[in-house]
A and B are shown apart, each in its own frame.
Chain A
Amino acid sequence: MLEKALAGRGSYRGWILFLLAVIGVGFIFYLRQFSEGLGITGMSRDVSWGLYISQFTFLVGVAASAVMLVIPYYLHDYKKFGKIVILGEFLAVASVAMCVLFIFVDLGQPKRIFNVILHPTPSSILFWDMIVLNGYLFLNIVIGWTTLGADRKGVPPPAWVKPLIYLSIPWAISIHTVTAFLYAGLPGRHFWLTAIMAARFLASAFAAGPALLILLCLIVRKYTKFDPGKEAIQAVGKIVTYAMIANVFFLGLELFTAFYSQIPGHMLSFEYLYVGLDGLGKLVPLMWTSAILAVVALIILINPKMRKKEGTLVLACLAVFISLWIDKGFGLVIGGFVPNPFDRITEYFPTLPEVLISLGIWAVGFLILTILYKVAVAVKEETSSWPELH
């Protein structure tokens, strides 16, 4: 099937070349990081994780969100998702690939990465994260490729793939839960030390991932003959709505606990993120952008008339995605390090090389996504001209 990715119009080839160029730039800067060390990033002794790990965290969520299509389609037999469930699975594949790359570029000694396997350490959550992420990547590649292959031949998917599909459901929940546990189990980092972390991660994931999926569906519909279906898109819109409400609710719970209890350790990171501490507040404008976009998104999404219009739905999805990208793909990780264990403020902002390396990884993700979607769409275009099989 992969051969379908090779043929395409000029715009397709142009897009691929563009992605390759961004990857090339990122790679060159990675080589610089490889030889000079992680000092070319904005990270420091006090803020020892930055853009790389926060992007990883955010993308685990996007990957996990495929389950929001798998559950309705496979468990509730919601047929309308039949056409797009493959788009969700392939989005998961591209996202997990990006996650792995973001972890890789964050390592100080990348050549030693296999020490994680040579010296397996079950007490480390990172060990479990490696297992669940690779497992999830494997599951989605196998499930996506097999079901698409069956679709192409006009036959139902083989029976052995069903158990894998069912397994992928709890597995999706596990990848984001384990990722939350990376943070939620650390003593002395009050901002992260919260039992609701995994739940909040899942809520934000199930809002941001499907919001991106809606945007991708609309792009696919615009540029190809494959129509994911208006109803399917609207149904995903409802998922985004509920998940975004849950996410904002969970954030509210955090704020209540911090500010009603008045325990300084619980309040300080929030204060740093939203108003700044000791006159330092590089992240304040970003965090308010996130907050405002969340409100805008909720106004559109909760109002059925606006949600049902595709123009405004697109706006809402963009708002959800950007809002959560800032909140989780940046603020959540950086906020945990400020103030430091000595109650001092060290600020962080990514450097240009760090941003270019990150963009390079996003480009790798989009390249994988483009190729997989091209194959999926080519198959769907072929089969949609056939009479419906029953």
Chain B
Amino acid sequence: MSVNRRDFLKYAGLSTILGLGGVSVIDKLFRSEAEAAVFNPIPEALSAERWAMVIDMSKFKTADDYNRVINACHSIHNVPELENEKHEIKWIWTEKYENTFPHQSDEYINESIKHQPFMVFCNHCANPPCVRVCPTKATFKRKDGIVMMDYHRCIGCRFCMAACPFGARSFNWEDPRPFIKNKNLDFPTRTKGVVEKCNFCAERLAKGLKPACVEASGGALVFGDLQNPDSEVRRILSSRYAIRRKPELGTGPSLYYIIGGNEHA
């Protein structure tokens, strides 16, 4: 029995799918963590096994302490200032104590803490539900623990916003570009219809710089490697009592809050 042209093409097509296509499909399907854009990092680049942040709330004293930190982030990341509160985009902002730690806050805590604004932003969870639910891997976790967004892959389904227990994510309900005061041309602006959030300044780490908020905080925000016992974050966490938001959900948030007291710890 000879193989006619039609059958030959059929077999050729099939074996291509199984041979070449099949491997890449299977590879794609079962690789759970997306590889970040790994290029050769420059020697000064900061790296860690798992980036984390300690937020010492006792060091936030004046309104300026907060604004400096927020502006440092929002200005370099082209975060728009929208008038409509429902469409708000925010990467780092403040919430009251009782809203930062709902169902976990202490009614009789001292008045100054009770009324103090708390800095909140993405927790860069060790086990991030937003990454798990994303249908396109547009949000992914890097090897150093940073939870990132690919603004060009995001389809805008907002599953990640439903999944995030920390309200860290914003969606571009409208075109953000007209609302960016001074565009930073070194960082992308976003289009309407995609989700965005804090990226732990991955673009600065690659250049050997600490996150902008950390730099602007005057020591109130401490950034470091949670897996390194000699890092500053570990040193603080071993000497001061810190709490995290909603740790019971098992997402493993990487932001640690030090509340109140003790200047000389």
Q: Which residues of A contact B (CB under 8 A)?
A: 36-39, 43-46, 48-49, 103, 106-110, 112-113, 115-116, 118-127, 130, 182-183, 186-189, 264-265, 336-337, 339-344, 346
Contact = CB atoms under 8 A, between A and B. Distances in A.
B158 A49 contact: yes
Majority-rule SS of B interface residues: loop
B87 interface: yes
A39 B129 contact: no
Contacts of A36: 174-175, 192
B158 A108 contact: yes
Contact of B136 (A106, A116, A343): A116
A357 B32 CA distance: 36
Given A39-B174, A108-B155, A122-B29, 8 more contacts: A39-B173, A45-B86, A48-B162, A108-B157, A109-B191, A109-B194, A125-B133, A339-B102
Contact of B133 (A112, A124, A341): A124
Contacts of A122: 29-30
A39 B171 CA distance: 10
Given A49-B162, A115-B155, A265-B103, A37 B175 contact: yes
Nearest to B154: A109
Range class of the B interface residue count: 35 or more
A342 B100 contact: yes
Interface in B16-43: 25, 28-30, 32
Contact of B135 (A44, A49, A121): A121
Contact of A107 (B28, B86, B155): B155
B193 A37 contact: yes
Given A38-B173, A44-B87, A187-B249, A124 B98 contact: no
B164 interface: yes
A340 B161 CA distance: 11
A38 B156 contact: yes
A103 B156 CA distance: 11
A108 B162 contact: no
B86 to A, nearest CB: 3
Residue from A186, A189, A336 having most chain B Cβ neighbours under 10 A: A186
B172 interface: yes
Nearest to A130: B135
B165 A109 contact: no
A84 B165 CA distance: 46
Contacts of B138: 115, 119
A45 B164 CA distance: 12
B249 A119 contact: no
